[in-house]
A and B are shown apart, each in its own frame.
Chain A
Amino acid sequence: MSRAFEAAEISKSFGALQVLDNVSITVNAGESVGLLGPNGAGKSTLINIIAGYEKQDAGLVTLDGTPLDEYAPHVRAHMGVARTFQAGRLFPQLTVAENVALGALGLGLSRKIARQRSEHVLEVLGITDLEGIQAGGLSHGSARLVGLARALAAQPKYLIMDEPAAGLNEHEVPALLSALSKVREETGCGMLLVEHNVGLVAQACSRVVVLAAGSMIFDGDPQAALNDEGVKSAYLGDAAFGGGH
């Protein structure tokens, strides 16, 4: 049995609009895969299907060989699939430490272990100074980092990140990359990174998948994607590639 998180031949339509057409993506254990695509390419729909928030019309999602289609998102969380959200989706009245601890508490772990994990991931992400702050008072960038910390506190087998670097400044992005690399080395967690920041994906991922208009147009080395004519014309354009964003 392969240790991989896989979405195979996924198709999805909303009414007459086909959002995904026979898309396949695999994230192996310990691998970091980038998911790129312009707005409307189907990225969000694909990760919603993978995480169990939406149901596909066709295709199969498996976790280490086990079909996941019958499992709700919270069950998938117990099975080792965590995700972050663009808006953080933190609990605004709870402290950062409490928010992060909930990532582990939700899986049935004790409060003590959850607190230890919370402290550890906050340290790895370099945001221990936020620990006692109420999450409702965080900046957009900090909220995303805390959302990532919460997902990491669950020590998932596979982590789906929805634009984790958006809102971060030029100092925070390298720190985030370093932290993700450290987590991957420590835990062997497979990561799927949905990003608009091509430079970040090129640095963080060993493989990249590009979607355009609901179809997969590239799956391979990030540097090769940067030079792929089909990717350029469909998604970023020459200027954006030159700028790295």
Chain B
Amino acid sequence: MIQAILDAVSLGGVYALAALGLGLVFGVMRLVNFAHAELITVASYTLVMTHQFPLVVSMVLSVVVASLMALLMELLAYRRLRGSNPATMLIVSFGVSVLLQKIYELVFGALPRSASVATGLTGTFTVGGVSITTASVVTIVLAVVILLAMGYLIERTKLGLQLRAAASDFQTARLLGVRSNRLIASAFVISGALAAVVAFVNVVGNPQVDPRFGLDITILALVGIVVGGMNSLRGSALGGFIVGAVLSLLNVILGNGRVYAYSWMFVIVIVILLVRPGGILSKFATKERV
């Protein structure tokens, strides 16, 4: 039972990080960046391809690569689409996603690449007679540390305040003089760094990286930001956590019926959205747009 709770918190934390990365970009651009999946994937490939390096070096490289790729996405694809119809931006993000998947396929092959990353985290230890996986504890600690750091960045810094304002109403933030290029680029870079953290946790648990490696978690993180409230960064993180934790608990509770875990989770999501259509933290929805 303890392990099940730890797993739920652990998976919830990972999805919270993924959702926060998506929420940051959505906040400043109203872009649902489906290609966030490919940021997770490229960070995962980086970890696998550099597994022979010291772990810290490998992790730093994955953060750098994912952040750079996020920045390139913004500069080459999304910058020209600012202010476009959200549907147009979504379709372009699908295009970027598919294009990158094919590039990964050409570069790394269609079959999974694997390597043992952070092997020290794959064991178990016993506390009070209860066997606990090291990975779940490390994941929780990592997610908590990153979320606290993000919390500090978002709540206590100038950049964070501007990001929160932009997430609430980007147009008004811009009218106040907020430098949109810098703010959006920052959001993409942070989003890439968060994708790298998510990649690390996932690769430790499943070091079989293929071109679609980041897809599932991104789709569920997207569900998370809708559940939490798309206009709120806190909502994005909370929604991601709920989706991850619920999915993990459903897998335990349903036992042999775990194949229906996704179905039940979406039932829960639908109920939440029926009660709060704007998401859990949608209390103060912006009512006026110019």
Contact = CB atoms under 8 A, between A and B. Distances in A.
B255 interface: no
A93 B175 contact: no
A137 B168 CA distance: 15
Interface string A84-126: 0101010111100010011101111011001000000000000
Contact of B177 (A53, A89, A93, A107): A107
A159 interface: no
Given A74-B180, A89-B169, A92-B284, A110 B158 contact: yes
A85 B288 CA distance: 11
A188 B164 CA distance: 32
Given A53-B290, A134-B284, A74 B174 contact: yes
Given A74-B180, A91-B168, A94-B164, A106 B173 contact: yes
A237 interface: no
Interface string B219-251: 000000000000110000000000000000000
B163 to A, nearest CB: 11
Given A93-B168, A110-B158, A111-B157, A102 B284 contact: no
B52 interface: no
A89 B285 CA distance: 12
Contacts of B157: 111
B162 A105 contact: yes
Contacts of A220: none
B290 A105 contact: no
Contact of A136 (B175, B176, B283): B283
Contact of B161 (A74, A85, A105): A105
Nearest to B286: A92
Interface string A31-69: 000000000000000000000010000000000000000
B172 A91 contact: yes
B176 A103 contact: yes
Interface residues of A, number: 29
A102 B290 contact: no
B176 A106 contact: yes
B165 interface: yes
Contacts of A106: 162, 173, 176-178
A150 interface: yes
A120 B288 CA distance: 28
A85 B176 CA distance: 12
A154 interface: yes
A101 B172 CA distance: 14
A87 B178 CA distance: 20
A102 B176 contact: yes
A184 B25 CA distance: 40
B284 A77 contact: no
Interface residues of B, number: 26
Contacts of A91: 164-165, 168-169, 172-173
Contact of B173 (A53, A102, A107): A102
B177 A92 contact: no
A166 B130 CA distance: 65
Nearest to A88: B288
Nearest to A48: B290
A53 B178 CA distance: 16
Contacts of B232: 93
A105 B166 CA distance: 13
Interface string B268-290: 00000000000000011111101
Interface string A187-227: 00000000000000000000000000000000000000000
Contacts of B177: 74, 77-78, 106-108, 154
A244 to B, nearest CB: 30
Most buried by B among A74, A78, A150: A74
B288 A89 contact: yes
Nearest to A111: B158
Given A136-B283, A136-B284, A73 B169 contact: no
A110 B162 CA distance: 12
The 4 nearest A-B residue pairs measured at CB? A136-B284, A92-B284, A106-B177, A106-B176
Interface of A: 53, 73-74, 77-78, 85, 87, 89, 91-94, 98, 101-103, 105-108, 110-111, 114, 134-137, 150, 154
17 contacts: A74-B177, A77-B177, A89-B169, A89-B172, A91-B173, A93-B164, A93-B168, A93-B231, A94-B161, A94-B164, A105-B161, A105-B162, A106-B177, A108-B177, A108-B179, A111-B161, A136-B283
Given A91-B164, A105-B162, A105-B176, 19 more contacts: A74-B176, A74-B177, A77-B176, A85-B290, A87-B288, A89-B169, A91-B168, A91-B173, A92-B284, A93-B164, A94-B161, A98-B164, A102-B165, A102-B176, A106-B176, A107-B177, A150-B176, A154-B176, A154-B177
